[in-house]
Structure 1
Amino acid sequence: KGKKGTLVASIKGYIHSAREGVERLGGLLEKYGTYESNGIAFQDVDEIWWLETVGGHHWIARKVPDDVYAVMPNQLGLDRFDLGDALAGRKNYMCSADMKEFIGRNHLNLSLEGGLNPRDAFGSHDDADHVYNTPRAWYMLRYFNPRTKVWDGPNADFTPRSDDLPWCMAPEKKITPEDVKYALSSHYQGTPYDPYEGHGSPATKGIFRPIGVNRNDFMALIQMRPDVPGEFRAVEWIAFASNAFNAMAPFYANVSATPDYLANTTAEVSTGSFYWSSRMIAAMADASYSTSVFHIERYQLAVEAQGHALLNRYDEKLRREADGVKRAALRERANREIADMLKRETADTLGKVLFELSGRMKNAYSRSDA
């Protein structure tokens, strides 16, 4: 937490665009270095850049093309890199100044065709990746491009253990926030690997690390809306706890206060906290999956639908308000109203999954006096 906070503070006050973010962080990496490989995205309304640290004082970055989405599990993912552009024009690629010498000196370019595949040069391909990382990338690509490739069966183009899964693809349709939430909540629904599948084989159920896992703590989806004035363009969709069972709600950025329901998380478990309520819902719904899953689906739909409705209403109010101070107050009022809605829906769902799980207690007993 401390390291991430320091990183954000050392960048965000010095940049005005995603590209400047890459340049700022790249300069810091070249000067101070880092002890581990990692990745970070920078986003503005026009561009998204993905930066990977590849050891010590070295880094690479690629602009995400406008017509694609990128998939990143917990491993280095870039699968192509134009070193010439990165060291000269910097139109779509950037890197540390000595990257060419670093690669040559350490014989890192493993390509037989002359290009540079950073995943081969800097990434990992071990057995753990085939359980922990590549299956997640496979499922997301399969979800957004179900007909583009063959993902299943003996003649599949790619499998959950493929090391050459594309880093990015053009989706078969436009992607919504709800699509992203579904992908990040995946437990391999519709495949033999779903741990909740009632009729699946024990040989395949749960063998891969889900995306929506019990240890999820926080999910944030930043939506930069190009058709909305810049002052209230950015919306952050937020969810806590296991993504398979949580609900995400939208909140305006560019505010000075966070609603108490989201901001009051302490070590004390409390239903007055969105975080702890989400944790309780997840634990109970997991233990009563077959009877609770429809409550979760309705909860997610209700929060998303009402979230959109509240955004639409306050967007219109913000467009009509000429005073900047009053617009700031409107954004915070909107966030409080969204938080109030979220609290009502979360409490209602918590009660429902508690009822379902209570019916499964080992001391359950019923007797008819009729």
Structure 2
Amino acid sequence: MTEPNYSACTSMLVGKNATVDGSTLIGRNEDAKAAWPKRFVIHEHHVTKEPVTFHSTANGFQLELPQVAAKYTATPEWTNSEGLFEEDGINEHGVAMSATESTYANDAVLGCDPLVPDGIGEEAMVTVVLPYVQSARAGVERLGEIVSTKGASETNGVLFSDAQEVWYFEIGSGHQWVAQRIPDDCYAVVANQMAIEKVDFNDQVNFQWSPNLEQFVTDNHLNPDRHGFNFRHIFGTRSEMDTYYNTPRVWYGQRMFNPEIDQEPTSQDLPFLRKSSRLISATDVQALLSSHYQGTPFDPVGTGDEFSKHRFRPMSFAKTQESHVLQLDGSFPTEIGGIHWLSMGVGAESTFVPFFAGISEVPAAYQYPVGHDYDRKSAYWSFKLVGILVDAHYHRLIGPLNDVQAELRQSYRQIINETQTQVATSNDLVALANQASKRAADLALSRFETLATQLITASADLSPLNYHQDLNL
């Protein structure tokens, strides 16, 4: 099967009682293009004297914005010519958002409620929602109102969290949507399919939905099931693409956290929610987003046969532009309890750097306004370079990269522990967040730049044009 050229991501959401430290976790790979630089920025809190209207450069979507905007982190692209694509962030109120997980609706649904060409799309979502909400639930409500009234240009999944709740929001058509709160003791892995299953319209605590969702489905005879209301069945697809491109990633994620459950990677009936057999950490979510079917015949750099190694699309692959895990720990102030873990480039060959949510300054390399092409001043390209060098001689060079990744994970943990112990005595949490974040970011860049020089040196004698001369001749 030829792999489609889709812009497609992988997401994970974890409730607070399913994590090792009681924090909530949402994470996603942003997958689109193999060479498309990303930046990391801070938008400061600001108030406008007059109402401001957002204008999308991608499709003409417009929306009048509130005059008060909260501070938030974001990862925009190197150019706004195709839209902002801020993708992910944490705001000053301790709300995290990741947008979007591309999904696909069936023809029957879209025939009844087509997508809106100038409706809201991925490139605008974080920008017009995250600065204006004070809880994850409020984020769902704001985005839901926009989709219901302005329409959506794409079918997408969107992740929201605060220190108490985690929500997954799915756009099923031009104006129809549903959102489900992830139970505190559960996790979910999503991979480019409609994921939400049974919707309980009597439970407004754990579900939200578009105003006429039930009536829309009834009037248009869209429910294929004899009983119940399964959003995935009604709005989703069950295509060959799902079988080879999407469901195997969900299978592998559930295999990581529930290895005792026997499932098939091509199953169309993998559940949306699972209770993990163990508690989950931010590092575990990073490992999932960096995975490529290790330990199975489907690993493209593993020991399986050639058919198996290229049968399924892996989580982490060349078109990953950045990966993020947004962690919110309510036992600390948001400035320190919120951590925006950011991996530039391919997660499997990069490192997840912890940036504390309270930061007001970003190291220059991470926000460098680079063009499209390689530039050594850009953090994105510094991490990407190492991946490219390793790819050329993967099995010879992956060891040194793995060693540096492990070393950095240990250093990050030390930085986080030291920073959180200083919270009680600090009178300037922003300065504390800046200092710790810069320390982690500078360390990551320094180690990867050193690693790059070592990999170049090690590669010098690995050319296919090499000739091993017999010195006895």
Q: Is the 8 A contact 2:323 2:344 kept in 1?
A: yes
Aligned to 1:153: none
Structure 1: which amino acid aligns with 2:358? Answer: N
**Does 2:180 correspond to 1:62?**
yes
Q: 1:368: how far off?
A: 6.9
The aligned runs of 1:277-316 (5 Å cut-off) are 277-316=382-421
Higher mean Cα deviation, 268-277 or 43-52?
Answer: 268-277
Aligned to 2:220: 106
Of 228, 231, 237, the residue aligned with 1:118 is 231
Structure 2: which amino acid aligns with 1:283? Answer: I
CA RMSD of aligned residues (A): 1.7
Determine the C-alpha separation between the residues in 1 that align with 2:458 and 2:257. Answer: 33
Determine the C-alpha separation between the residues in 2 that align with 1:65 and 1:317. Answer: 32
CA shift in 2, pair 1:60/1:344, >3 Å = same
Of 346, 357, 364, the residue aligned with 1:253 is 357
Deviations 1:188-217 (A, max 9, x none): 11111111124x212211111111110001
Aligned to 1:31: 149
CA shift in 2, pair 1:327/1:368, >3 Å = farther
Runs of 4+ in 1 over 4 A off after TM superposition: 366-370
Gaps of 5+ in 2: 1-82, 85-120
Q: 1:4: how far off?
A: 4.2
Gaps of 5+ in 1: 151-157
Q: 1:132: how far off?
A: 1.1
Deviations 1:135-166 (A, max 9, x none): 1111111111101x11xxxxxxx211111011
TM-score of the superposition, structure 2-length normalised?
0.72
Deviations 1:53-101 (A, max 9, x none): 111111100000000111110121112211232xxxx110010110110
The aligned runs of 1:81-230 (5 Å cut-off) are 81-85=199-203, 90-112=204-226, 114-147=227-260, 149-150=261-262, 158-198=263-303, 200-230=304-334
Determine the C-alpha separation between the residues in 1 that align with 2:470 and 2:430. Answer: 60
Determine the C-alpha separation between the residues in 1 that align with 2:369 and 2:441. Answer: 14
Deviations 1:123-144 (A, max 9, x none): 1111111121111111111111
Aligned to 2:433: 331
Of 340, 343, 357, the residue aligned with 2:459 is 357
Deviations 1:10-33 (A, max 9, x none): 222321100011111111111101
- The residue matched to 1:40 in structure 2 has which SS? strand
- The residue matched to 2:178 in structure 1 has which SS? strand
Structure 2: which amino acid aligns with 1:108? Answer: L
CA shift in 2, pair 1:167/1:353, >3 Å = farther
Q: Is the 8 A contact 1:136 1:211 kept in 2?
A: yes
Of 337, 341, 354, the residue aligned with 2:443 is 341
Structure 2: which amino acid aligns with 1:15? Answer: V
Q: 1:254: how far off?
A: 2.3
Deviations 1:193-247 (A, max 9, x none): 111124x212211111111110001111011113223332100111011122111
Q: 1:271: how far off?
A: 3.0
Percent sequence identity over aligned pairs: 30
Determine the C-alpha separation between the residues in 1 that align with 2:417 and 2:465. Answer: 48
- The residue matched to 1:180 in structure 2 has which SS? helix
Q: Higher strand proportion, which one?
A: 2
- The residue matched to 1:66 in structure 2 has which SS? coil
